[in-house]
Amino acid sequence: MTNEKDVESVAYTQLQGDLGPLVNDMNNKLIKHSEEITRLKTQNENIFSKLDGMESKVDNIGDKIDQGNEKNEKIFNQLLEHHLGIKQSDNTNKWKLLTALLGGGGLLSGIAIALFNIL
């Protein structure tokens, strides 16, 4: 059993459960946590801005490579034409001619079939 004198000697706040140090400790932890979150957000924003800059640089490099490939292709075709007399064929006109012949042939055959059916 506890003696009344022992109880009186203990501070009243301790008997009631003094939460002051615990609250202060939790507030300090909360402040440190908030500061850490802010630091991480700033660091994250910096990383993403650097990534955006790198992305635009990579796009620029890709465009330069494409331009270089086009120039190299033109130079190669000129060399072939000049030294070997080989010209690159333009297949677009051939396709137009083939389409016209087949389209016209289809029309002519349709007319011929219609005439044979009438007779």
60-93 per-position pLDDT tens digit: 898 899 899 899 888 888 887 777 766 656 666 6
Q: Are residues 17 and 75 in the same domain?
A: yes
Q: Which amino acid is at 67?
A: Q
Length of the chain: 119
Predicted TM-score (pTM) of this structure: 0.39
Q: Are residues 13 and 54 in the same domain?
A: yes
How many domains are contained in the chain? 2
Alpha-carbon distance 74 to 68, whole Å? 10
Q: Are residues 82 and 94 in the same domain?
A: no
Query: Tokens 């006109």 map to which residue?
Result: 93
Residue 103: give the domain boundaries: 90-119
Residue 38: pLDDT band by 50, 70, 90 thresholds?
very high
Identify the burial level of 88 via C-beta atoms within 10 angstroms of its C-beta, where 0-12 means exposed, 13-18 middle and 19 or more buried: exposed
Q: Are residues 72 and 117 in the same domain?
A: no
Q: Are residues 63 and 80 in the same domain?
A: yes
